[in-house]
């Protein structure tokens, strides 16, 4: 075996010991990074639990693939098969920029395959379609993108249930307030089976963190826009940790080495490669420009340029393919650097080297290589292997066991509560502003009394308080947008559902909303001298709290439609401004134009119900002297003020106004739930339409 390895300049890697695919060992005696033999991480204490719960057998008898070392042959072979991923003639297009313009092709006619126990690298220059192809294979293409082609798993169109696949995105979407340990541990509680003890989950999470070289940063916060935390490379490794917790059968990695130095890149990828061999995982990674050591870890290579296949096959065969095509790799040059230098069209004025013709542009080199790939035996070999893999079959995937609904709800509520407590932009900054404005408002309208002019002053205090509280609720929108990004990532990975997110967000936010309503509300209420009585104060605080919860529910809808927080703030402020105009304060209900503004805007404005509830709470049971310029020595009741001056609807109690606000809050959150669910239903339909085009 040693002789075979030494005779080959770029050895052919194998995930398992096989005479046809010899192993190559790092440093002559260290464990093979691609087979998982020897030491090198393991499961760090809790691995036995995951091996027992998530065991996957090797799929033996296919091109030298044997049972992985240390695995019992035939265990659960039918129940939990490996993943043979194939794709044929995959094309991805997006609509042109101008109306009526032709669709723009991003990926064109790509075919390939990935096998259990191996790592397939998708490489190419920036903008060549690596991430698009990865998204197409993972079923994560966004709206407005048309996909055609045939993508099969074990010879069938398979819907990936939870635990069957994971996707490490290029962007590190994490909660900035969490420490590394907390981020991974909370995710472990969500993903790992409910039957697994919490102590084992914690031990396993710690082990995965150490495997990725993050032991020294366990208690360091991730950091974000307001606080500094771990580095970008460490964030990438935390993201990988989270997706590797359940050892999925199919793992997609988008730029896993971005932000990592060469040593960290090698250690991370070698660890992933060992896990692929040991756990019989199928790994597809889009890699920008790996080092020579990292490139040597890859079993397969899919080389793209301008959305076309330049080469697909064993990574060790790529150097020979380029040499046969007239572009040999110079000695001591990293093969991946050589490949990307040849096929990068961004700098076409620079001439690439060729042994057959000394002056060729990158465009010409790409044409030569794509033609060579189609004419030589490489393309035919790829299609033959795809045909064989399509015949493998196997039992359909089953959704893995994960935490129960109540466990997920508890974990999400706790995580959200901690995040809101630590993020100063969520509620604490708002509380400070409310306290400051409360002092200002309370001193300006200090002890209003019961004069005739106090009627208007009370209305102004109520309206200003309602407007300020609702407008300031937009201040937490940037923090909530970050939470929605985390929710989207975890939702796409199947960690939990929309219902758990909505309920947990409501439960965790309610205590904070109560605090920012009670403390400033109490200060304002007693400084201005509004109607005395504990029941009146309780209603005042409850109404304030319901207003903020309702606005946050409305901003949830905006966040899922407009994910950019600057646009979301503008849209949210605009919507509230329109609702405020129809509240009955600036113009009485009878004076509002009936088309549009009264019907329906007046009745769907939550300000109407909030303000009228405040009015009822403030004026019922009160008496005021009349306008002395019109009629002297006459008093008017609060009921007259409500009916004649303010035109408040008196057919129902003030608590009905609270119930209406509560109902509107629930409706808004249901709308958020429906939008997310509809978006999830639309995406698979778009994929099925693409499949129909390829038939």
Q: What is the pLDDT of residue 26?
A: 31
Residue with tokens 């292997």: 385
Please write the tens of the pLDDT for every residue from 59-75. Answer: 333 333 333 333 333 33
Q: Would you say 90 and 151 are in contact if contact means Cβ atoms under 8 Å apart?
A: yes
How sure is the predictor about 97, in pLDDT bands with cuts at 50, 70 and 90? low
Closest-CA residue to 206 (of 190, 221, 191, 217): 217
Q: Would you say 124 and 305 are in contact if contact means Cβ atoms under 8 Å apart?
A: yes
Q: What is the pLDDT of residue 59?
A: 38
Q: What is the pLDDT of residue 541?
A: 93
How far separated are the first and last CA of the chain, in Å rounded?
46
Please write the tens of the pLDDT for every residue from 461-479. Answer: 999 999 888 888 888 888 8
Please write the tens of the pLDDT for every residue from 231-245. Answer: 888 888 899 999 989
Cα dist. 650→67, 299, 532, 581 in Å? 77, 76, 22, 21
- For the ranges 57-61, 220-224, 415-419, 668-672, the lowest mean pLDDT is seen at 57-61
Q: What is the pLDDT of residue 112?
A: 94
Q: Would you say 69 and 383 are in contact if contact means Cβ atoms under 8 Å apart?
A: no
Q: What is the pLDDT of residue 391?
A: 85
Q: Residue range 13-25: average pLDDT?
A: 34
**Burial class, 552, CB count within 10 angstroms (exposed 0-12 / middle 13-18 / buried 19+):** buried
Which phi and psi angles does 104 have, rounded to 5°? -95, 125
How sure is the predictor about 161, in pLDDT bands with cuts at 50, 70 and 90? low
Question: Over 70: is that where the pLDDT of 633 sits?
Answer: no
How sure is the predictor about 527, in pLDDT bands with cuts at 50, 70 and 90? very high
Q: What's the CA gap between 169 and 147, in Å, rounded?
A: 20
Q: Which residues neighbour 230 within 8 Å (Cβ) at sequence distance 6 or greater?
A: 180, 217, 220, 221, 222, 223, 238
Q: For a pLDDT cut of 70, what percent of the chain falls above it?
A: 81
Average pLDDT, the chain: 81
């Amino acid at each position: 075996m040693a002789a075979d390895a030494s005779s080959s300049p770029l050895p052919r890697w194998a995930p398992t010991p096989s005479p046809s695919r010899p192993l190559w060992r790092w440093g002559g005696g260290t464990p093979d990074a691609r087979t998982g033999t020897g030491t090198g991480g393991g499961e760090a204490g809790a691995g036995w639990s995951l091996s027992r719960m998530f065991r996957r057998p090797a799929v033996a008898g296919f091109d030298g693939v044997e049972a992985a070392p240390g695995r019992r042959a035939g265990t659960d072979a039918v129940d939990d098969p490996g993943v043979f991923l194939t794709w044929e003639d995959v094309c991805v297009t997006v609509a042109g920029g101008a109306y009526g313009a032709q669709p723009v092709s991003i990926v064109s006619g790509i075919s390939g395959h990935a096998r259990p126990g191996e790592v397939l690298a998708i490489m190419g220059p920036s903008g060549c379609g690596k991430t698009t192809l990865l998204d197409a294979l993972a079923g994560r293409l966004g709206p407005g993108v048309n996909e055609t082609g045939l993508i099969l798993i074990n010879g069938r169109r398979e819907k990936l249930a939870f635990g069957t696949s994971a996707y490490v995105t290029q962007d590190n979407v994490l909660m900035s307030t969490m420490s590394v340990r907390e981020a991974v541990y909370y995710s472990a509680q969500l993903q790992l089976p409910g039957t697994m003890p919490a102590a084992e989950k914690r031990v396993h999470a710690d082990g995965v963190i150490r495997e990725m070289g993050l032991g020294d940063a366990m208690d360091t916060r991730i950091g974000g826009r307001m606080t500094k935390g771990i580095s970008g490379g460490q964030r990438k490794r935390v993201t990988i940790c989270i997706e590797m917790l359940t050892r999925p059968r199919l793992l997609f990695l988008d730029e896993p080495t971005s932000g990592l130095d060469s040593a960290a890149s090698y250690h991370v990828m070698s660890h992933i490669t060992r896990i692929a061999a040991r756990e019989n995982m199928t790994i597809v990674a889009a890699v920008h420009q790996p080092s020579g050591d990292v490139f040597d870890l890859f079993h397969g290579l899919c080389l793209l340029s301008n959305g076309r296949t330049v080469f697909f096959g064993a990574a060790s065969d790529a150097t020979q393919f380029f040499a046969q095509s007239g572009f040999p790799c110079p000695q001591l040059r990293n093969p991946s650097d050589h490949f990307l230098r040849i096929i990068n069209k961004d700098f076409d004025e620079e001439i690439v080297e060729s042994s057959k013709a000394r002056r060729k542009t990158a465009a010409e080199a790409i044409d030569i290589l794509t033609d060579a790939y189609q004419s030589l035996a490489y393309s035919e070999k790829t299609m033959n292997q795809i045909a064989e893999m399509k015949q493998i079959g196997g039992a359909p995937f089953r959704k893995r066991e994960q935490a129960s609904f109540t466990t997920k709800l508890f974990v999400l509520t706790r995580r959200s509560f901690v995040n809101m407590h630590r993020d100063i932009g969520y509620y604490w900054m708002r509380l400070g502003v409310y306290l400051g404005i409360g002092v200002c408002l309370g001193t300006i309208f200090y002890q209003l009394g019961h004069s005739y002019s106090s009627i208007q002053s009370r209305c102004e205090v109520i309206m200003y308080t309602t407007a300020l509280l609702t407008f300031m609720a937009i201040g937490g929108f940037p923090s909530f947008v970050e939470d929605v990004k985390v929710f989207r990532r975890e939702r796409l990975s199947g960690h939990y559902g929309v219902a758990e997110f909505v309920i947990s967000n409501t439960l965790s936010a309610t205590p904070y909303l109560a605090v920012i309503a009670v403390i400033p509300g109490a200060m304002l209420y007693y400084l201005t001298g509004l109607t005395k009585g504990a029941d009146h104060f309780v209603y005042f605080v409850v109404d304030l709290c319901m207003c903020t919860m309702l606005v946050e529910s409305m901003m949830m809808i905006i966040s899922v439609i407009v994910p950019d927080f600057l646009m979301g703030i503008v849209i949210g402020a605009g919507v509230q401004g329109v609702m405020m105009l129809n509240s009955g304060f600036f113009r009485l209900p009878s004076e509002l134009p009936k088309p549009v503004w009264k019907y329906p805007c007046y009745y769907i404005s939550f300000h109407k119900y909030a303000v009228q509830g405040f009015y009822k709470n403030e004026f019922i049971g009160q008496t005021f002297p009349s306008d002395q310029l019109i009629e002297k020595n006459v008093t008017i009741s609060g009921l007259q003020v409500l009916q004649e001056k303010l035109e408040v609807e008196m057919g129902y109690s003030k608590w009905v106004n609270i119930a209406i606000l509560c109902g509107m809050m629930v409706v808004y959150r249901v709308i958020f739930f429906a939008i997310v669910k509809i978006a999830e239903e639309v995406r698979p339909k778009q994929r099925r339409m693409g499949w129909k085009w390829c038939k």
